[in-house]
Amino acid sequence: MAFVYPTIHSPRGIRLLKYVKVAEDGKTMEFSLEAKRWEVPEVEFEQNRPEPPRNSNQRDFYALSYVWGTSPDKEFIICNGVPVEITRNLYDALSQLIVHTPDIELWTDSLCINQNDPVEKPAQVAMMGDLSTL
């Protein structure tokens, strides 16, 4: 069965990855990928000095930045019930994150952006700066 990306219904919509469990084999991680509406938090400006976004310590998700690389080393995760191939370095990062913060919601470009959609990809890439800095 091929992986189907959840539909994004908003121009500022994104998908977030959430850990579900380790599969019965004891190695394969299972995740859900859900489309959500995302708004850039308001930033107050005072005397040309930006202030941190309100509730900046209460983010709904974290953007995971990593190098894709060209390594032939690949791993699989289960995402929405379907095996998905990912890079070894993303697999390693996810493995560490779920040990320390299993309830974390993540945005990671290789999984949360449909890389094969010529309309979606540039729209999502245009938001990457906002997603990773707030």
58-90 confidence digits (pLDDT tens)? 457 888 877 666 778 899 999 999 999 999 889
Q: How many Å apart are CA 43 and CA 7, to the nearest integer?
A: 29
The answer to whether residue 113 sits within a structural domain is yes
What residue numbers bound the domain in which 22 lies? 13-133
| Average pLDDT for 21-30 | 89
| Predicted confidence band of residue 16 (pLDDT cuts 50, 70, 90) | very high
The answer to whether residue 7 sits within a structural domain is no
User: What per-residue confidence (pLDDT) applies to 25?
Assistant: 86
The answer to whether residue 5 sits within a structural domain is no
The answer to whether residue 6 sits within a structural domain is no
Q: Do 54 and 67 contact (CB within 8 A), yes or no?
A: no
Domain tally, the chain:
1
The answer to whether residue 121 sits within a structural domain is yes
Give me 62's structure tokens: 């974290």
Task: Select the more confidently predicted residue: 132 or 30.
Answer: 30
Query: What value does the mean pLDDT of the chain take?
Result: 83
DSSP state of 88: H
Q: In the predicted model, is pLDDT for residue 57 greater than 70?
A: no
The answer to whether residue 105 sits within a structural domain is yes
Q: Do 113 and 120 contact (CB within 8 A), yes or no?
A: yes
The answer to whether residue 2 sits within a structural domain is no
Task: Select the more confidently predicted residue: 40 or 118.
Answer: 118
| Predicted confidence band of residue 54 (pLDDT cuts 50, 70, 90) | very low
User: What per-residue confidence (pLDDT) applies to 68?
Assistant: 65
Q: In the predicted model, is pLDDT for residue 48 greater than 60?
A: no
The answer to whether residue 125 sits within a structural domain is yes
Q: What sign does the CA torsion over 14, 19, 25, 26 have?
A: positive
| Average pLDDT for 31-42 | 81
